[in-house]
Structure 1
């Protein structure tokens, strides 16, 4: 009787056996012949090797390099991969490069795979598992003077000719003086004291030394903790006395960004070392139930290849071990993520996202709450409600098309009643005097956007002049009428920024 593997693959021949891996030539229940790698997973080494092999196949599948019909099983006691028979071929090295880059983090090389073509596209026909430990991926990686007059009597008209030479002589004298002044300035150039240019933009720095006659040169530096396009250093230092023609070097900040390395499919410790070697750190670890080996990295935020500043943190989604038999999963912590990142994490955890947007002072599109809370156990494909911040909508009030009313002078006080008139009235105390003031405010440059509330409180009312979200560049200017003393208050992102009498 022909033996069956997983009740669907008939064994035609046992081709080889190496360590915990056996290679069979089999025929599927549908008649498709192929090759089946069977793993005897009884040791941690065998389990790690199988899951690394399985994750490499998954990555090939997501990138479109896997032919149809490949089957991978990770059920207890049935760990195997079936590869249907496909024609092999020799491909040029440049066409192999994308496949090798995908397999490199998992320790596989060109010697571990067979390639072919399908409809003009590169396909991995077979990937051979590694029985031993794979090799660690590398991560440690600019005119003459006029002749003298004749003695004796001058001929007629000589005096007039001499007077005609006066403008030329005057111009010659002025030119000589200018030449002497230029020679003096050249031999004795003025000195200037260099101002402090650190923190200024290149344009502001050039304006500050305009007229000094310096040779300004720019160089690039990198400090991710400081704003871009700002002077980090100047040579000579501030306070140095310089003369025209002196060289001034300004180092301008151009922060260099790196890329998140590939950590999916690696163990948590391996991923941590890879991030530290690339200049990053692990910002947090979220664990969910998964069929992968415990402590296997399932996803990262930001994802691999995305640009990120050196020293910033990367959040990791890590398997907590075998899945529950009743198909349950843990709700990950989504606080502080963007909506896109939260949807991605929930999809990896096999949960669905239901988004509700509410006005909030938090950054636009960030998750501010979730239901259920992190760590709760849900059945897979359950819905998790996430609350996403959105900026409240408000329109700046349009100015009135009518001119503001003129303030009439108060009427003169009535004369006091004459004695014996028989009438007596109580005088009405005068109200607070009206006056016209101009209210102006400009959003600081270090705030790209904000929610601004501008109010004026006088002795009668509190008048809200503006309320709503704004973006750079933004300024406010409006003339208002107040009664008596008044106070201007400006609240930015819920914090009192200005409180000033008017």
Structure 2
């Protein structure tokens, strides 16, 4: 077997706690199986301890922290068996390592183990009887001690005092809880007045005593601002729903007389596009009731022609129907003017655009004038997908609707039309001119 395409394995000496010790050509390799954040944290603490010894000139090693290749290689050195000096122990103490993790060479540290050493496994065949037996006896005694401590902790789980984490950064909170045995859950909060990534709330509160394994919940500040939406032209109820959905509060609502239907939003304060904090208040200015008896225009778009005509007649309004070719079902109302909710005088006209199938027959505006034929063959462009499409044929007689309806990329529009004089096709997407050409 070849580790990391560079270290031929001679034998496997030991494997425990997710770490395998190999004897390779030229030295030893401690190979970490990193699967969880705890495993990665353990490896980086081990790597930091090795780097500290290297900085002091007390150790030589090659460390890899590439994904899937977490290991440390130590060149083979003769072991002295002497106790690590004070400077070695002082350098390792902040990282949780002690003399039981260190194997000393003649002049410096030979290698650092991630768990208490069994020197016999790494020094197989070296030294006298006691040099092989003493470490085993020591580890046996240490194992019995740890077993006793583990049983005691199992039947008497320790309690930890929850620290005060409010105002701390996410990293500071993690470091304070890392060695307590307590779990951590985080949810987002939003307070633009506080720095981002600081703890806004915690549960349970500071000073609470919890047993190991219990969870501390934190609310972490994201401090996001939300722009005020453009609500002009919307009915008041719909505008208030949109504000609530974005996390704003509806503030004062003022009404003024206007040409728009009663309840239509005219403006907001702050104006549309202003970045605001979550929960901020937005005031509305809406159109009030106009003087005189009025009739509210019903919503007709999406109804069949006969249903729309019935509603208009019942409301005392005058329907005006314009048929336009469309891919929509025959007789479906595509648009209406005035719009739904607008208040108009009784007998006012309401213009409906109704879908029909087939080509448009353009009326002859100038009798006796010779007409010519033009051919249309158009595949709607990708920009038309999901947008409202309107195609006009403009000649000396004016503009006529060739197609009006929902857009779809690649939709084929074709036909032959009679025109008078110079003619042009005009393609509109969502009411804006997209393309114009002569047939």
TM-score normalised by the chain length of structure 1? 0.25
TM-score normalised by the chain length of structure 2? 0.28
